[in-house]
Structure 1
Amino acid sequence: MTSAPDLLATPSERALILGSTSRYRHELLSRLGLPFEAVAPQVDETPSAGEVPADLALRLAIAKARDVAQRHPQAVVIGSDQVADLHGEPLGKPGNHERAVSQLRRMRGQTVVFQTALAVVCQATGFEQHDTAAVRVVFRDLSDEEIENYLRKEQPYDCAGSAKSEGLGIALLERIDNDDPTALIGLPMIRTCRMIRAAGVRIL
């Protein structure tokens, strides 16, 4: 994790931007009761050859934050990305039913590490911090019928690894091990609070 000196700006002086269009991240950040804008980053999310999941998530989180910060240099920008790590293989958003079925069949009975990366950038002040929250998830030995029923009801096709833990996806799991309970949803809020405070945003 890298850092720069704390900013002196107050929330009224420094805008807060979420560099994401994810409804899950938007809902999580809204819990702080701070005004913010959501801006879509323009980043190619194609993995590099041989790139491990944690590195992929962190690279994309930083790229998203920097991309939005270039267009909004005075703002404090939050970027995040999540990649499911199945024995070193990255699993992203399935996008459709067939790929979701394939993902869940491969993950059943397995331990999957969800790598949720976070970056906070303010270009005007040179501030940048980044970190990754790893969440270890043990999946139940799911039947094909359970997988189909879950997907038809939840349709989690925009969730990494097809696992929407804040909804019906919790029924897929045996155990969750982490130090930041919101990380699995898509934005590690304990780390987010720490970083935006360091960037000069007053939360309380």
Structure 2
Amino acid sequence: MSISTNPPLILASTSVYRRELLERLRIPFEVISPRVDETPLTGESTLDLALRLAYAKAKAVADQHPEAWVIGSDQVADLCGAAIGKPGNFERALAQLQLMRGATVTFQTALCLMKGDVQTTLNVPTEVTFRKLSDEALEAYLLAEEPYDCAGSAKSEGLGISLLESIKSEDPTALIGLPLIALTGLLHDAGFVIPSKSGK
């Protein structure tokens, strides 16, 4: 019985979280940095920002690798219409968590699969409600997990789950950074075999 061979695939991202998520599908892929300016446009909504950046990341790499399918993805946390970015350090992370305490934040996770002129871009939203925790609890979490490279300052796949009251989404992997349910469907449509007979 022949072993199926999937088309070339590239993840246009430097995110270790997206790489780890894509590895779950057990198909070969390459990782290339898209080098895209992620500055929001004036008046741009969080949804439009996420969709634009996912597309831009995919296109930046696809233009250089026309033989491959390229995955671009971006996530923007939205609190009452305002974007909540990656904090970068303890002080900004604490300020974010204090702001989101008891509130519901929508994480817009956009996905783009592209090859040449063929592309599909979509968004998988996730509604996250944060618990009303004390400053001491928030500080203890930040010191334990140091989630300073995560939009919203909480890793739901780790200790950050203790900060959350509820998560509402069609895809549990979207909140981590790459919606695998949607992506698997797009890859199937593009001719990928998942699971593949080789399992790699």
- Using the size of structure 1 for normalisation, the TM-score is 0.92
SS at match of 1:184: coil
* Deviation (angstroms), 1:12: 3.4
State the number of aligned residues.
193
Aligned to 1:136: 127
* Deviation (angstroms), 1:11: 7.0
Using the alignment, how far apart are the partners of 2:183 and 2:159 within structure 1?
26
Aligned to 2:52: 59
Q: Decide whether aligned partners of structure 1 residues 13 and 25 sit closer, same or farther in structure 2, where only a CA change above 3 A counts.
A: closer
The runs of at least 4 aligned residues of structure 1 exceeding 4 Å deviation read: none
Using the alignment, how far apart are the partners of 1:140 and 1:91 within structure 2?
17
SS at match of 1:147: helix
Contact 2:50–2:74, Cα closer than 8 Å, also in 1:
yes
The residue identity in structure 1 corresponding to 2:134 is S
SS at match of 1:183: coil
Q: Does residue 1:117 correspond to 2:149, yes or no?
A: no
1:97 aligned to 86, 90, 96, which one?
A: 90
Using the alignment, how far apart are the partners of 1:56 and 1:45 within structure 2?
9
Aligned to 1:3: none
The residue identity in structure 1 corresponding to 2:88 is G
Pairing 1:33-48 to 2, within 5 Å after superposition: 33-48=26-41
1:148 aligned to 116, 139, 142, which one?
A: 139
Give unmatched runs, 5+ long, in structure 1: 1-9
Contact 2:130–2:166, Cα closer than 8 Å, also in 1:
yes
* Deviation (angstroms), 1:13: 6.2
Using the alignment, how far apart are the partners of 1:130 and 1:164 within structure 2?
25
Aligned to 1:159: 150
* Deviation (angstroms), 1:165: 0.3
* Deviation (angstroms), 1:39: 0.6
SS at match of 2:132: coil
Q: Deviations over 1:52-92 (max 9, x none)?
A: 11111111000000101011111000000001000000111
Q: Decide whether aligned partners of structure 1 residues 136 and 11 sit closer, same or farther in structure 2, where only a CA change above 3 A counts.
A: farther
Aligned to 2:198: none
Identity %: 59
Contact 2:6–2:193, Cα closer than 8 Å, also in 1:
no
Aligned to 1:188: 179
Aligned to 1:107: 100
